[in-house]
């Protein structure tokens, strides 16, 4: 698979640009990052999103520089695909990894058009607040969101 083919799997929903965090039952000062959720942990999504997202297309406006500008921005590869527990259920890479195939709304199945994805409520379009416009540490609880967990077909 070429890099261009790999990149075309991305549906461009923008959900991977959302801030998320792990809520834990444990009060542990020795927290270690893992590639899975431990018992008692829950992945919480917010509607806060990277400042570089295009709010209409849900694409990154600085895609080639994204990892320099935002060091925590994850670059999905075939090698790290097994570690994507933090990606939303609707993520096309996750769907393929889990054997669920591309969804009917995926742009590849709709002549490159994202309209169906937006219309079905899969994308971040119209639901986001850029992280550079709020005090994340003070106000993040106001932005906790359930919609990023939505998936269909």
CA distances for 73 relative to 11, 17, 30, 70, 152, angstroms: 17, 8, 24, 5, 26
The answer to whether the beta carbons of residues 113 and 105 sit under 8 Å apart is no
144-145 and 18-24 beta bridge pairing:
unpaired
pLDDT (tens digit per residue) in 105-119: 999 999 999 999 999
Gap between the Cα atoms of 66 and 49, Å rounded: 13
Instruction: Give one DSSP letter per residue of the chain, joined into a string.
Output: --HHHHHHT----SGGGEEEEEEESS--TT----SSPPTTEEEEEEEEE-TTB-TTT--BTTGGGHHHH-TT-----TTTGGG-TTS-TT-HHHHHHTT----TT-GGGTTT--HHHHHTT-S-TTS-EEGGGS-HHHHGGGGEESGGG----
pLDDT band at 27 (very low <50, low <70, confident <90, very high): low
Mean pLDDT confidence for 143-153: 94
| CA separation for the pair 57, 68 (Å, rounded) | 22
> For 10-38, what is the mean pLDDT?
76
**Which residues, including other chains, have CB under 8 Å from residue 69's CB and lie 6 or more apart?**
52, 62
pLDDT band at 8 (very low <50, low <70, confident <90, very high): very high
């Amino acid at each position: 698979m070429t890099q261009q083919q790999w990149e075309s799997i991305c549906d461009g929903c923008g959900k991977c640009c959302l801030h998320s965090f792990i809520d834990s039952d444990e009060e542990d000062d020795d927290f270690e990052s893992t590639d899975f959720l431990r018992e008692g942990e829950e992945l919480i999504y917010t509607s806060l999103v990277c400042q570089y997202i295009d709010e209409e297309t849900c694409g990154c406006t600085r895609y080639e520089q994204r990892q320099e500008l935002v060091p925590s921005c994850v670059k999905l590869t075939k090698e790290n695909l097994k570690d994507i527990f933090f990606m939303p259920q609707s993520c096309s890479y996750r769907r393929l990894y889990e054997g669920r195939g591309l969804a009917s709304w995926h742009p590849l199945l709709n002549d490159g058009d994202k309209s169906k994805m937006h219309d079905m409520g899969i994308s971040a379009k119209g639901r986001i607040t850029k992280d550079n416009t709020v005090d994340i540490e003070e106000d993040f609880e106001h932005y906790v969101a359930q919609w990023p967990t939505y998936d269909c077909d």
